[in-house]
Structure 1
């Protein structure tokens, strides 16, 4: 999928509901104790000569916000973010990309401090964070903040899970750091998106390093000044260019952001200094890598509005523009107990963008199948699913799949929005079955349920973890807030 067009689709199709949230003007309380908290006036966006001190404001928020300050909904979404990340990280753990990274780094890794999820190797925390971050992004099946297209969990959770095996932390502290790290990277991303992304930066890497530094620094107990330095050192390590998409380098980016974030926090913890205004200064991060700087996106609503509650999870292992058609096909299949041999034709009314991005009629390999609405609809009817297994080379070439996708017809209709689809399935007995999708499963309007996340998790870990091991790992993730040591998550992800 063209990344510029993908960004356009996500922005126009999924962000309308965010406007009211962005309008919030409240800022975080100065102390975690609500009884003694005082409000701080929300800074303006300033001007080029006098920008607000957003690096300090953000650092103070990170340092002073405790687990008890997080609203219940925010905590819940943090747990769901963790669940989804662990599943995709284990699922990608034996991909060739990870094998090559392990082979390359094994001779140079430091002490065996942290586990690789789904594998038996142990690495030092920075290399473990890097490899787990790579593993979690390989399938492009990870979480997505639709407003910026940042995949939030990869840099943040990869960093703090490795750190929590080196220095044990409670599950509550772990979840608090996760939420604050995600909030940090998303707010910084909001401030420079879309200009920063459009020029060619891979925003998951460039903003993810801030999230990893903030989350790790929170677990380390950094002071406000040290957190300012950690954010400054993170700003000095932007990683990821969109030119890397389609290669192993793409999943390198969140992995490297995770490792670089730990690196920044560790240095800051020993008073390794940086500028106090590395995000907003004239020659700082935002002005150097973007022509847009909206600092209100970073500071407004801190502590009252959480971008992390807008995180979404992919139910299907392919470009999001195909998701409405898959959703429609699966719903009709399940409702009418459809079999491929019953179907005479499948007609889809779709936005022009859908064909532009996913119009491959005769894919030959699994990766091409991810960019074929014809294949996606066919496997959705046949399997009732569209996970990673449905986009294998074997599935693309299966005679039943090939026969059914030849019955899929697309009708371009600009009146149909990119996030919609109008599907009619005509059966051989003459019946016509119709389904219109306004918002597909996995969107902010129709989020995946906990049960659907568990099914996705189990599918990804099949063949890597035993069913009993998978169940234990799922339960450990759900119960993260009750854990005495968050490192149990990584230990539960070891293959038997």
Structure 2
């Protein structure tokens, strides 16, 4: 990278000087949808094992100053602990948003930090939106600059870049000047971490929670004039990626488009590279129904041959997952549940579905080929079924399905109503229909909220 430009300071200057009035309506609206989408993911996983384990590890009954709500838990927590626990919940199901160019999940870390911060410090809705956007933009700017080599080399890009997003969000909420803002990003660089080897384990969820917590600390240190070095992000990037681009890092600061508009929402709670396969298997159900094959699927299906981009195999190649957390990273499981259940929601990526004997059998019948020319949001599938019996007159049946753009991709995005429905599906069974409706209404008009503490009250049991 160029040594005569401090890209960290340029990015910090742009974000610290950004005003709400500078934001286009489409940027604001997409930010509100991103917030609602991630809130739903947090509520849906608030009582899952990772969030409960972290709560058990960090909360103490004799603590005072319990200022912040934990999503759908009856206890409150210190600000820093609430940020950690909520961050874990937001990402547990891997149902959160995705910035497709980098496969980073950009909303969770700034949102986890801001939720608790805004509740404690009574942040207005407009300031919340602006700080959230700054967090997303900072995280995506760094992710763009280190992709694709960083992720390919084994780093978990959401974990490593998440601290920059949370630091930028809190720095903006604090109103830090450019130099303090840059120092916050520098502190985040020294705390960045997360490796892909942890996928399918509790530790993977810790990456987002800890990054949000680190970002909060980074911004508070910078506010207190805790010093950092120049060009901090650049120095960090040289260590963790061999494909660094200073052009990507400086694009936003030089008037580049807002990356939040590239943010997409998931229709299925699993690795986004599995989505075209799920779409293809759901489409195949019509073929099965027309030929009365559904009830005998396990016996009649010989093989499913799928062709995907190599990224799909790199990220989601667990053939026989051992837990719900591992199903998220199994393209085989995604195909199987879509074929057997005709659905691919949270219940289909559970421990029960993971251990279903029919699902296990179908997973073993899937064969995978990679092709670099197949886009990340595309897939080709070929299904082959055997005759009903050896003496039957019918022949081997075959069918082919091609998915050009998966549901939820930039070319085939979820609309606002679909995002609201996704939120309701996760939320209403946990916090009730009334609070679910209230949160949807609040997010629709977030810019008019005088005190974001009202959201904390709605998220509490």
Give the TM-score band, short-chain normalised.
0.7 to 0.9
After superposition, where does 1:222-261 map in structure 2 within 5 Å? 222-261=176-215
Q: 1:75 Cα deviation (Å)?
A: 1.6
Shifted more, 459-468 versus 76-85: the winner is: 459-468
In the TM superposition, what are the counterparts of 1:261-276 in structure 2 within 5 Å? 261-276=215-230
Aligned partners of 1:396 and 1:94: how far apart in 2?
19
Distance (whole Å) between structure 2 residues aligned to residue 459 and residue 402 of structure 1:
27
Partner Cα separation in structure 2 for residue 358 and residue 256 of structure 1: 23
Q: TM-score, normalised by structure 2?
A: 0.85
Residues 275 and 438 (structure 1 numbering): CA distance in 2 closer, same or farther, change over 3 Å? same
Counterparts of 1:271 and 1:361, CA distance in 2: 50
Among candidates 441, 449, 472, match of residue 407 of structure 2: 441
Relative to structure 1, the CA distance from residue 109 to residue 264 in structure 2 (aligned partners, 3 Å threshold; closer, same or farther) is farther
Report what 1:176 is aligned to.
130
1:91-490 alignment to 2 at 5 Å? 91-107=44-60, 111-280=65-234, 284-302=235-253, 303-333=255-285, 340-341=294-295, 345=301, 348-351=304-307, 353=310, 366-367=324-325, 369-370=327-328, 373=331, 375-398=333-356, 405=362, 410=367, 412=369, 414=371, 417=374, 419-423=378-382, 435-490=401-456
Between 1:459-468 and 1:336-345, the stretch displaced more is 336-345
In 2: Cα distance, 1:358 partner to 1:162 partner:
33
2 CA distance for matches of 1:268 and 1:448?
A: 38
Distance 1:197 1:411 in 2: 22
Q: CA deviation at 1:342?
A: 7.6
* 469 and 351 in structure 1: CA distance in 2 versus 1, 3 angstrom threshold: same
Question: 2:200–2:329: 8 Å Cα contact kept in structure 1?
Answer: no
- 1:159: Cα distance to partner? 0.6
- Paired residues, number: 444
* Alignment deviations for residues 53-95 of structure 1 (CA, whole Å, 9 cap, x no partner): 1122111111111111112222222112111110111111112
Q: Is the 8 A contact 1:351 1:415 kept in 2?
A: no
In the alignment, is residue 76 of structure 1 matched against residue 26 of structure 2?
Answer: no
Contact 1:109-1:127 at 8 Å conserved across structures: no
Which residue does 1:52 correspond to in 2? 5
Task: Classify the secondary structure of the residue corresponding to 1:341.
Answer: coil
Contact kept? 1:454, 1:474, Cα under 8 Å: yes
| CA 466–425 in structure 1, closer or farther in 2 if over 3 Å, else same | farther
| Cα RMSD for the two superposed structures | 3.1
What are the Cα deviations for residues 29-48 of structure 1, in whole angstroms up to 9, with x where unaligned?
Answer: xxxxxxxxxxxxxxxx52xx
Cα distance in 1, alignment partners of residues 315 and 150 from structure 2: 22
Which of 13, 31, 39 is 1:86 aligned to?
39
Relative distance call for 1:231 and 1:333 in structure 2 (3 A) is: same
Write the distance in 2 (CA, Å) between the matches of 1:201 and 1:321: 17
2:176 is paired with a residue of what secondary structure?
coil
Question: Given the alignment of the two structures, is residue 66 of structure 1 paired with residue 25 of structure 2, yes or no?
Answer: no
In structure 2, how many angstroms separate the alpha carbons of the residues matched to 1:399 and 1:242? 28
Partners of 2:147 and 2:314 lie apart in 1 by 24
Q: Name the SS for the 2:103 alignment partner.
A: coil
- Alpha-carbon offset, residue 298 of structure 1: 1.4
Q: Identify if the C-alpha distance between structure 1 residues 396 and 484 changes in structure 2 by more than 3 Å, giving closer, same or farther.
A: same
- Cα deviation code 1:115-166 (max 9, x no counterpart): 1112222112111111111111112222222222221112110011111011
* Preserved contact between residue 334 and residue 384 of structure 1 (Cα < 8 Å): no
Contact 2:164–2:188 (8 Å) recurs in 1:
yes
Shift of 1:370: 4.4
